[in-house]
Structure 1
């Protein structure tokens, strides 16, 4: 079995793309219009993030106990860039062992994104 993608239903596709493309540097892999919205796949690795926007959908939950994890080369530099862009750190940074550090931010839909530095 192969893990393919994680799907996130979004409030605003453009706001979500601003975050995932311009903050997290995930490129668009595929973009498809639907009669009632749009689907965008992001990432150039094996596993993708799928954003789905449904026109007229006003209420949904992203799952408060779920997070997606992405690696960063330098957590301190990444947190500084987030600060410059006005994106608050929701939790952390944490260092559970000498070779791992991470923090959490929220995407525009409230999804927890874990940013991980491995040394």
Structure 2
């Protein structure tokens, strides 16, 4: 079997707040927005890359403490921390450097899911 990652689904309380976080602040392009079974859904991400699917709903299937985090690569960790700080988003954990070739930190999305920002040196 030859599989490739397609998307990750997050059920969010406030779709507009999550859309603002992932689109405006983190810069993921909106691929499409639609309604299915009475729920608003937004697919975000660049072509050829796995997407993040945001589904509006108060009955969240996953809780932030479930151990899921989403990771992004940054060209400069220091610049990313400064830009996020300017947006009022604090670093939740880190920065951490587990080896000489990797540095990362975590922030939280509007629902409390961890988002890892990493820089490979």
How many residue pairs get matched?
A: 117
Match of 2:26 among 24, 27, 49: 24
TM-score (norm 1): 0.91
The CA deviation at 1:76 is 0.3
CA contact (8 A) 1:31 1:40 kept: yes
Residue in structure 1 matched with residue 63 of structure 2 by the alignment: 62
In structure 2, relative to structure 1, the CA distance for the partners of 1:118 and 1:59 (3 Å cut) is closer
Listed one character per residue, the Cα deviations across residues 11-67 of structure 1 (whole Å, up to 9, x for unaligned) are 11110011001111000011112342211110014211000013xx26654341110
Unaligned 5+ residue runs, structure 2?
A: none
For residues 78-93 of structure 1, what are the structure 2 equivalents within 5 Å? Answer: 78-93=80-95
Unaligned 5+ residue runs, structure 1?
A: none
CA contact (8 A) 2:39 2:56 kept: yes
Mean Cα deviation higher: 59-68 or 22-31? 59-68
